Amino acid sequence: MPECQLVSKSVFQHVSVAAFQHFSKSAFQMSRLSEELRQRTTRYASAIIRFYVTLPKLRGEVNVLGHQLLRSGTSVAAHAREAARARSDAEFASKLDGLLQEADESQLWLELLRDDCGITGEQIEQLLRETGELLAIFTTMVSKLRKRGI
């Protein structure tokens, strides 16, 4: 194979770089979750971070709820990434269930920050809308999987 560059023989035993790159691209394209949804959940996590930074953390209750929101809101994107790499329909559904739990929890923290802590503005309203939309999208996906017996 003089024309092909070899990847470490000890690990891949004569697997060309071109073949490895083709495999990597194919594996990525076989994701169980669309790139659009993965990017959307990543943008959601980024929006949660940007919102968290603006919170008045000197108030104890806002600090606690803000940390909870930061954790659950960023976990939505993490679960989406895990779901995209699921090896089976059952694992995919399980990862989406985790995503739904984190999104629902994020909605709770946002509602408490707005309703009980007086945090208002367009940023929190946009996050509440996006959380509701993500919950609707992923609930529909899980429902369809469950109807298929998964």
Rounded Cα–Cα distance for residues 80 and 82 (Å):
5
Q: Mark whether 41 and 99 lie in a shared domain.
A: yes
- Residue 59's domain spans which residues? 33-147
Q: Which helix (H) or strand (E) holds 98?
A: helix 89-115
Tokens of 45: 């996590």
Tokens of 78: 């993490």
pLDDT at 31: 85
pLDDT in tens, 5-25: 444 444 444 444 444 344 344
CATH code, 51: 1.20.1440.60
List of the chain residues with pLDDT < 50:
1-29
Q: What is the pTM of this model?
A: 0.79
pLDDT at 22: 41
Q: In terms of C-beta density within 10 A (0-12 exposed, 13-18 middle, 19 or more buried), how is residue 31 classed?
A: middle
pLDDT at 85: 96
Nearest C-alpha neighbor of 80 from the set 96, 68, 64: 96
pLDDT at 30: 56
pLDDT at 29: 44
Q: Mark whether 26 and 45 lie in a shared domain.
A: no
Tokens of 17: 């770089």
Q: Mark whether 66 and 5 lie in a shared domain.
A: no
Looking at the structure of the chain, the number of domains it has is: 2
Q: Mark whether 99 and 62 lie in a shared domain.
A: yes
